[in-house]
Every structure is written in C-alpha cells, then in structure tokens.
Structure 1
C-alpha cells in the first residue's frame, strides 16, 4: 500500500469529507478521490460509502483505519521531530481529557499552548477514560489525562494526584447546609450516573457493594453536560469532583457536600507505552503539568498530591 494513499484515507476518514481533507492536505479533490479509488482497487473492497452528508466508513474502512492510523501518525511524527530538532517544537499533538478535567483545564491550557508553542497544532478530545485508553492503545492519541490505576492500564503513566469526589445535588436539596454526608446515606438516594463502562460508575458500584446497598439509578448519562443538567432538574444526585461543578455551585444552580469517608480517584497523564513521545508531545506534557499545578495554586482544582 502506498503511504500517500494511507495518509489520504486516514484524513478523509477522520474528517468525513473529501473537501475538508482537500483543505487540510492542500491537494485537489480529484487527486484525493483517485488515491482512495486506487487503494480500494488494491484491497478489492469499498472503504467508504458516499452520500450527501460526506464519506462514511464501511466495515472494511473501519478495520483499515484501526490498523493504520497509528502508523500514519508515527511517520508524521518522525518528520515533525526532525524539524523540531532544528528549531522550536512543531507538529500535531492529540490530547485526550476526561470531561471533569476538560471543563477545568481545556480552554486555559489551549491558550497557553498557543502562546508558548505557535508551531504545534493541538487537538483536544473530550471523552470518558475507557474511550481515551482505547485510542491511546491504537496510537490515535498522543497523551491523555485520565483516571485509573496505573498498573492496570498498560500505558506509560505519570501520576498527577488524587481527585476528591463530593455529593452533588440540585438547588434547595440541602447539601450546602449539611456540608458533609455519609456515603451510606448518599448511595441510598436516587442517583444520576454514567453507564457501567466508565470508571466513576465502577468506583460508586464498589462503594455500594461494600455497604451492601442496591443503587437507585433510573437515569444514566454518558455526557457530562447532560449528567449535570439532569441533576439541576432535580432528577437525582451525582458524585463528581468539586472542580467540575464550581461555576454551577457559584451560580446557585447546584449544591455540594463533602463525603464523610472521602472517595477519590487517581489522576494520571497517560501515553502509549510502545512508541517514544515526539518532541512536540514532550513539550505539551511539561506544559500540561505546569498548568495543573497553576490550577491547584489558584484554588481552582482541589487535586491532592500522592
């Protein structure tokens, strides 16, 4: 397979459009379309279905993307590293953030990255830990701030600290008056939680199992914004880091209370273990640690050092 064809295929697959890929790669659409057709001819299968909304991967296309996107990124990073060795860090860095971290960090970190590294193209992807770990393993992502035990992830990991978990409820629920609640009382309330595939749910389920409590979960939300909006509507309590709902609490839309026997999660910067970090990724990682430390110092993020 020709590498140019694979790069074209990866770009079209990620953007879902020949026109967008043409703008990104600065190659005319007919030339891109020809490369895709040559690749499909060699593989003897269609990689995309074409419709009015753009280019959609077939099953074969999804398989090819899973197997080759990491390879394409590694070759691109070799080029970026050679250029960075002769000047300031440059190239593309894909950073994953779990939602509770993204709402605190993403905007201010993006600003600092633009100011400090104008030649680095930063892409921030927000998702839950399970998805981010999968993309790290597939080589589609360079680094990520996630929750999890480092020994279980098969990733290179740099510990950041532990994020405390608090009870979160709607305005008028009484949490702010209580200031502290027992975990047993909280787990017996109606809860709004992410689904079973996510680390926070596993932490809460484990706490409930220790107390022999059956959770009352009528609503699940795998979107952080949806989850907090459901709590605002009075549809249940949630368990979240206080930093993630700071603005909602300040506006009086949500209330929080500490948990008497604190729950916490280990927070790490993770990266693929099977390939070296690029010069640009190393620079972004160092800046990321600086920004986390700045958030702690400013009182925006109550992350406990381990």
Structure 2
C-alpha cells in the first residue's frame, strides 16, 4: 500500500460511504471505489460491508485501520525526528495520565515542556492506569504515568515516587491527616470504589482479604470527580492517592486519613518494543525530572 491508498482507506472509514469520502478527497466516486477494491484484493479479504446505509468496516477492516494508524503515526514521527537533527525539535508527543495525579502533574509539566519546546505538540489522554498501560504497549501513547499495581507486559517503566493512600470521607466525618486508619476498618464503611479490574479496587480487596474481610461497596464509579462528589454528598467513603484530593482537602469539601501501610508508587511507562522519537524522549526525561522534584519538595517519597 502507498500513501495515497492509505489516505483513501482512512477517508472511507471516517465518512462511512463512498460519495462523501470521494468529495472530501476531491476524486471521482468510481476512482475511489476502484482503489478500495484494489486494497481488498491486495489483502485478499473484504474490508467493508456495503449496504444501503453506507460502508462499515469488517473485522479485517478494523484490524487494518488500527495497524495503519500506528504506521502512519510512526512515519510522521520519523519525519519530525529527521528534521530535529539540525532544527529545534518539533512533531508530537502522545502522553497519558490517570485522574488522580492529573492536578499535581499535568498542567505544570505540560507548561514547562511547552516553554522549552514550543514546536512540539502534546496530545494528552486521561484514562485509568490499566488502560494507559495498554495504550503505551500498542503504540498509541509514547509516555504515560501508571503505577506498580499494574502488570508491565509490553512496557518499560521507571519509578517516579511513592505516596500515601488515603481514606476519604465527607467533611462531617472529621477524618484527620494526623491520625492513621487501619485497612481493617474499611470493611465497616460504605465504600465508593472503582470497577474491577481497576488496580485500586484490587488493592483494597486484597488488603482486606488478608484479614478475612470484604469491602462493603455501595457505589462503583471510574471517574475521580464523580467519586469525590458522592463522598462530599455524604453517600460513602473512598480510597484515593493523596495527590488526587489535595485541592478538595484545602477547600474543606472532604476529610481524609492516611491508611496504615498502604501506599502507591507512580511510574513512567514507555513502549518496550520500539524506541521513542526525539520529542517523546525529551518529554520522558522531563517526566522523570518532575518526579525527582516531587521527592525533593517532600510531596512524594523515594520509591523503594
């Protein structure tokens, strides 16, 4: 397949029919149809289901689309890297961050990176740690923040720092950051936790399981703002990393207490099977330096 065929294939996927795709590409519909047929002959399988409502990709078409997206992105990154040998680095970085450390890391990190490398575009994805790990492994993301509770298949990782996990309750619960809570006490509380197989959920279940206990889960939610909104409304308690509730604690919307012997270690992940481009390598280095700064400032502890 050449670049033109890839462009034609992407356009049909995007528009869902030949007429709209042909119009966007400024080619005739018969020309586009012949090109799509040529691609299907090349791969010896139907790539679209043709019907009255347009053209939908078959499973083979979806697989080809996913693979070509990765290839097309690598070609764009290669072009930027070649230019970066003699010019100021440009191109793009795909960065992923979980909801909890977003407030602590995302804005100051991206702001500093943009000041240092204004010609590099940063694409940011906010997902759970497990989803980010998978996106790094399949090449969709270059760099992501994840944690040691997630499997590391397909990624290379480096520790950034460790912080306490907190029991988070409504302001009326009057939890104190100066008084620890045992993990066993969580079993007697109505909990608002993430859905399985989220690593945070599994960590709580495993910790209680060591004492023969089970969590009393009243609500499941996978977004941090919703979880903390439910807590602030007095509907239960949750467990979150300290960095995820710093602002809410300062505002007095919630109260929190460190859970004894329960912490999270943040990591920076990169693909295991491919090297990073110049732009992504610079971003990865800045993430590592950001982690070292959090340790120097006493926000995080060194990861053991």
Smaller-chain TM-score range?
Answer: 0.7 to 0.9
Larger Rg: 2
The total of aligned residue pairs comes to 292
Determine the structure 2 residue equivalent to 1:45.
Answer: 47
Determine the structure 1 residue equivalent to 2:133.
Answer: 133
* 1:41-190 correspondence runs (5 A): 41=37, 42-43=39-40, 44-46=46-48, 59-148=59-148, 152-176=152-176, 179-190=179-190
CA, structure 1 residues 56+227, in 2 after alignment: closer, same or farther (shift >3 Å)? farther
Residues of 2 paired with 1:239 and 1:206: CA distance?
Answer: 14
Contact 1:8 1:32 in 2 (8 A): no
1:29 aligns with 2:24: yes
Report the TM-score when normalising by structure 2. 0.84
Residues of 1 paired with 2:51 and 2:101: CA distance?
Answer: 36
Contact 1:162 1:267 in 2 (8 A): yes
Residues of 2 paired with 1:275 and 1:17: CA distance?
Answer: 32
* 1:257-276 correspondence runs (5 A): 257-260=257-260, 262-276=261-275
Residues of 2 paired with 1:156 and 1:211: CA distance?
Answer: 34
Determine the structure 1 residue equivalent to 2:303.
Answer: 305
CA, structure 1 residues 219+117, in 2 after alignment: closer, same or farther (shift >3 Å)? same
Residues of 1 paired with 2:162 and 2:28: CA distance?
Answer: 49
Q: What whole-Å deviation, never above 9, does each CA across 1:138-180 have from its counterpart, x for those lacking one? A: 1111011101258743311111122321111111112128722
Determine the structure 2 residue equivalent to 1:214.
Answer: 214
- Offset at residue 100 of structure 1 (A): 0.8
CA, structure 1 residues 5+100, in 2 after alignment: closer, same or farther (shift >3 Å)? farther
What SS class does the counterpart of residue 284 from structure 2 fall into?
helix
CA, structure 1 residues 95+49, in 2 after alignment: closer, same or farther (shift >3 Å)? farther
Residues of 2 paired with 1:126 and 1:36: CA distance?
Answer: 37
Contact 1:165 1:263 in 2 (8 A): yes
RMSD over aligned CA atoms reads 3.2
Q: What whole-Å deviation, never above 9, does each CA across 1:193-240 have from its counterpart, x for those lacking one? A: 111121111111110110111211121111121111111111111111
Contact 1:166 1:239 in 2 (8 A): yes
Residues of 1 paired with 2:50 and 2:103: CA distance?
Answer: 35
Residues of 2 paired with 1:214 and 1:32: CA distance?
Answer: 62
What SS class does the counterpart of residue 76 from structure 1 fall into?
helix
CA, structure 1 residues 149+257, in 2 after alignment: closer, same or farther (shift >3 Å)? closer
Q: Give 5+ residue unaligned stretches, structure 2.
A: 17-22, 41-45
Determine the structure 2 residue equivalent to 1:203.
Answer: 203
Residues of 1 paired with 2:202 and 2:113: CA distance?
Answer: 33
Residues of 2 paired with 1:48 and 1:289: CA distance?
Answer: 49
Residues of 1 paired with 2:196 and 2:216: CA distance?
Answer: 14
CA, structure 1 residues 36+166, in 2 after alignment: closer, same or farther (shift >3 Å)? farther
Q: Give 5+ residue unaligned stretches, structure 1.
A: 19-27
Residues of 2 paired with 1:81 and 1:256: CA distance?
Answer: 46
Determine the structure 1 residue equivalent to 2:292.
Answer: 293
- Offset at residue 182 of structure 1 (A): 1.4
